[in-house]
Amino acid sequence: MTIQFRKEEEFFTFHDPMQGGKLIDRKTEVRFDPLTGETARIIFDPGAPFIPADFSEEAAATAGKKCPFCPENVFDSTPRFPDELFDGGRLIHGEAVAFPNLFPYSKHNAVVRMSDQHYVKLDEFTVPLLKDAFMTAHQYVEKVAEFDPKTAYASINWNYLPPSGGSIIHPHIHVLASEHPTNYQAKIARSSRDFTEREGVSFFESLAAEEKTHGERWIGTKGSIEWVHAFAPLSHADFIGITDAAALEDLTDAHCENLAESLKAFFAYFQQAGINSFNLGLFIPLSGSQAERVHVRLVPRMTIGMLKTSDMNVFNYLHGEPLSLKAPEEVAKAAKLHFAEN
């Protein structure tokens, strides 16, 4: 077997006041990522529901004249690309408008304003709206790769609503490209190459096949994208979309449509689970190999309890150790039902 799903159980013994002082053993599960070997922890779930925040008031207070992405402002308040990159300085597809990020995270950094509507709730996103946004982002990466041959890594990134780190409610995505990978991109590229050299097959293809066979964390297929739940998740859910594209040159508009269809299904699951914010990354190698795959990571983001506590803490940031209240197998079972319906 080329894929190893390793986990270790730890037990902490104490007298539980919630059970009349009964002596109990409470389990923590340490899981090892089958590609990188990094660990994540599945911790005890107290059963408290996730309560989605309502951003209607914030949306009303920041819309229109106060929002640079609203229709009346987007062409006056946003920067333009050099004409040699895009004639007229912007890339437009349907309601999607791409323009430079004023404060870039990378050598090349476009922002794609996704819609005319300022506050788009999860159930209001449509497949055409999502597809147009991702197609626009894809076209930007293609142009950058042609314009700058040093470009080796690209990603399309979405912070939806404030719990995710999104600073503007109006839906938008960031498109990054550079010769320098992020830590995640470098780790995945290195580990994938090592896996292929050792096993003679692609990790991502093997992962999809293995999960589909066993079914515990298998979600389903949308066109060219196969979806699984991560064995060692980065959050309380962690959906991995594995495309049949090895690199940018293999990526098509059909992949963007399949991603849009997939997201509609996951948004339905999020709403049932009490989740209304997320981070998404679409990771795009520019030079294909047997080892590499264009793939997606989709994780929820939230605040917890009456104090609106962040779901990220010292474990995530300083220990580099993701925590999850939810067992991946249970999340996969619930998400799969919505995925099949869409």
User: Across residues 202-227, what is the average pLDDT?
Assistant: 96
pLDDT digits (tens, 9 = 90+) for 60-119: 999 999 999 999 999 999 999 999 999 999 999 999 999 999 999 999 999 999 999 999
At which residue do the structure tokens 């002596």 appear? 23
User: Across residues 34-46, what is the average pLDDT?
Assistant: 96
Q: What percent of the chain has pLDDT over 70?
A: 99
Helices (H) and strands (E) in the chain, counts: 8, 16
Q: Mean pLDDT in the chain?
A: 95
Q: What is the helix, strand, coil percentage profile of the chain, to 5?
A: 35, 25, 40
pLDDT digits (tens, 9 = 90+) for 282-301: 999 998 778 889 999 999 99
Angle at 144 between CA 83 and CA 126, to 5 degrees: 95
Enumerate domains of the chain plus CATH numbers: 56-341 (3.30.428.10)
pLDDT digits (tens, 9 = 90+) for 249-274: 999 999 999 999 999 999 999 999 99
Q: Both ends of the chain: CA-CA distance in Å?
A: 33
Q: What pLDDT sits at residue 307?
A: 83
- With 70 as the cut, is the pLDDT of residue 1 above it? no
- How does residue 47 score in pLDDT terms, banded at 50, 70 and 90? confident
Single-letter residue type at 236: H
Q: What percent of the chain has pLDDT over 90?
A: 92
- With 90 as the cut, is the pLDDT of residue 191 above it? yes
Q: What pLDDT sits at residue 341?
A: 61
Residue 178 CA to residue 176 CA, distance in Å, equals 7
User: Is-contact 125 197, C-beta < 8 A?
Assistant: no
What pTM did the predictor assign? 0.97
Q: What pLDDT sits at residue 342?
A: 54
Across the chain, the runs of DSSP E, i.e. the strands, are 6-16, 22-32, 39-42, 91-93, 96-100, 108-113, 153-160, 172-178, 218-222, 225-229, 239-243, 278-285, 295-300, 303-304, 309-310, 323-324
